Structures are given as C-alpha cells and as structure tokens.
Amino acid sequence: MLSLQFRMWLLLTILFAIIYAVIVVIGSTFLRVGGFGFYLIVSLVMMFIQYMIGPKIVEWTMQVKYVKKEEYPQLYQMVESLATRAKIPMPRIGIARVNLPNAFAFGRGMRDGRVCVTEGILKLLDDDELKAVLAHELSHLKNRDVLTITLLSVIPMIMYRLAWSFLFSGRRRDGRGGNTILIGLAAFLFYFVTNLLVLYASRIREYFADRGAVLLGSKPSSLASSLYKLAYGSARIDKESLKEVEGIKAFFVNDPSKALSDIRELSQLDLDKSGTLDALELEQLRGKKIRLGFADKAMELLSTHPNMLKRIKKLSEYKC
C-alpha cells in the first residue's frame, strides 16, 4: 500500500511540475500573444462544466433509476453497511437499465455520492461477489477519485489547447515563427505525456479501490471472482451495446472492451474450471511471477484500468 501511495504522490508531483515548468518557461511568450490566459480560463471552465454536469450525463447514458430501500432491500442493506464501515455518507443507490454486467460510482463529492449497479450484474454475481464490487465502488467515493481524476485531467487539456494555439494560430510576430512552432510541438509532446500520466493515475486509483474493498471486509477471492465473471458477462454483450457505454467505461469496475483478453488471461487461473476464482486458486497465484507481452503492456499503457492479470495478482497478496 505504501508503494501505491508513493507512486501516486510522485505522479502528482510530476504532473504539476510539468504544468508549472511550461508556465514558467513560455509564460512570457503567451502573455505577448495573448493566448495563455485565454486558453487556461477556457480549460478551467470546461473542467468545471464537466464536473457539474458529469453526473447527469452518466445518468442519461446508463439509464439510471434511483431506488428506495423497500424496492431493493438486500442491495440497500449491503451499501448501507459498507458506507457505515467506510465512515462516509450514505450514497444514493441506482439501477442502470442495461444488460452489461457492471457497477460504478460517481458524483460531485462524497456527500453527493451515487453507487449504481446494472441489471446485468444483479443476475450474474452471488452475494459475496456483489458486496465486494460495491465495496470497491464505495472506496472510490471515500478516496474522492472522481474529483482527483477530474482535476488531473485539466492538465493534458491545457497542454492540448496550448499546442493548438501555437501550431495553428498562424501568429508569426517579431520573426519568431520558428520558435512558435517548436513551442507548439513541445506542448503537444507534453499533452501526450501528461495524458499517459493521467491514465496511470486512474490505474493506481483502481488498485487503491481494490485494497479498499478488502479493508471493508471483502475477501480478495470474492473480488477476483467477480472480475472474472464480469469479463465473461461483458464478452457476451453485442458490440453495439458496448459502444453505447464507451464514453464512461472509466467509471466501471472493469473495462468491458477488454473482456476477451481478460478471459484469456484469467482462465488459466481457474484450475477447476468452475467459472470462479476461489481462495486456493488465488493462493497459488501469489507465488508466481507475472510476465506480460509487449502488446499487453502497450494496451495497459493506454487504458484506464490495470492489466487484469496484474490486478488479480495484487489481490492475491492481500490478507483478509
């Protein structure tokens, strides 16, 4: 856990060091052409709008209907007990009217937290597995992950707008056109790098949420088994349905677009071919080394979620 915390703090330091360095090095140039203040304000305004209307977009996309205790008493009791144990306000509970099996948490803050499950996941997981997934999502709320990633996302957004301004604004004052193009190219490079770093931050937050689920009383094997089942459930969904949720898959407990590769990786862990991962199978994984090919590493680099085999390996190291 300490290693994850160190990596997160190091990542935050690097990201904000990059934006500070860019402002210091080329700030005077921006002020002369009048671009810096404008694009900074535009990026901040866009981030604020995204933060404010984001929950409504998620609700509309996932067809979320909020439910009361009497409608889903068992689900309500699970969330209520987990929220009490996590010492956070009781979130609103929603059911997403989609067959894709998954769960997600969102909201503008801890007091505005919402935890949703799809109709598909309710049909797929047993009680222990569902509770582990809910614990994972409540950990996201407790860690303020939505706010963290939203704030970090503004950095590549600013870099992109700076690059666009310098490369395509057509300004060539004082015979400095060559320098302007170089600055634009540098900003675009920083956009690419910071975007990768934000994706890395998202993957770290998933590890934190997995650990949080265990701290809230879930068995590592229950969460591992739920991830395995979710991969199989996602693989059965048609491509058109997957495209409809493409824009918000970062909220999900796993990435449904990677379901087939996840199945290939995790099926080798299911020694008894039961369709689940139990504590014994997880125990055997603990002593093994995970080796990923180039394609798997590249895919993870561009993903909001960790490689599933690495993620399950990390779960195998946790004690209940």
Q: Indicate the pairing of strand 114-118 with strand 103-106.
A: antiparallel
Residues acting as catalytic residues: 137
Which conformational region is residue 87 in: left (phi greater than 0), alpha (psi within -120 to 50 degrees), or beta? left
Backbone angles phi, psi at 96, to 5 degrees: -90, 125
Contacts of 61 (CB under 8 A, 6+ apart): 244, 245, 247, 248
Contacts of 208 (CB under 8 A, 6+ apart): 4, 8, 139, 143, 145
Report the distance separating Cα 102 and Cα 255, nearest Å.
9
| Residues 265, 275 contacting (CB under 8 angstroms) | no
Listed residue (137, 148, 143) closest to 251, CA to CA: 137
